[in-house]
Amino acid sequence: MTIRGFTIDGFLLALVAVVAIAIILPGPGATGGILHMNEVATYGVGVIFFLYGLTLAPEKMKAGVRHWRLHLCVQLCTFVLFPVVILLFGTPLKGFVPPEVWIGFFYVAALPSTVSSSVAMTSLAHGNVPAAIFNATLSSLIGVFATPLLMAWFLSTSGLSMPLLPVIGKILLLVLLPIVVGQIARHWFAGWAGRNNKRIKLADRAIILAIVYNSFSDSMVEGVWRGHDASLIIEIIVGVIALFFIIYWLMHIPCRLFGFDRADTIACLFCASKKSLATGVPLAPIIFGTIPGLGLIIAPIMLYHFCQLVIVSVIANRQAQLALAEA
**DSSP per position, 52-106:** HHHH--HHHHHTTTT-HHHHHHHHHIIIIIHHHHIIIIIGGGGGGS-HHHHHHHH
CB burial of residue 219 (10 Å; 0-12, 13-18, 19+): buried
pLDDT value of position 9:
64
Are the beta carbons of 307 and 243 closer than 8 angstroms? no
CA distance 77 to 268: 10
Task: Report the chain's mean pLDDT, rounded to a whole number.
Answer: 85
Place 224 in a pLDDT band, splitting at 50, 70 and 90: low
Instruction: List the beta bridge partners of residue 3.
Output: 6
Residues 6+ apart with CB under 8 A from 270: 118, 121, 122, 125, 127, 132, 312, 316
Q: Does 248 or 211 have the greater pLDDT score?
A: 248
6-52, pLDDT tens digit by residue? 455 677 788 889 888 988 888 888 878 888 787 877 788 888 888 88
Place 81 in a pLDDT band, splitting at 50, 70 and 90: very high
259-277, pLDDT tens digit by residue? 999 999 999 999 999 998 8
Residues 6+ apart with CB under 8 A from 196: none
CA distance 23 to 103: 22
Residue 2 has pLDDT above 50, yes or no: no
- Percentage of residues in the chain with pLDDT exceeding 70? 93
Give, as one character, the DSSP assignment of residue 113: P
What region does 5 belong to: left with phi over 0, alpha with psi -120 to 50, or beta? left
pLDDT value of position 6:
46
Q: Compute the radius of gyration of the chain from its Cα atoms.
A: 19
Residues 6+ apart with CB under 8 A from 292: 218, 219, 221, 222, 223, 224
Residue 172 has pLDDT above 60, yes or no: yes
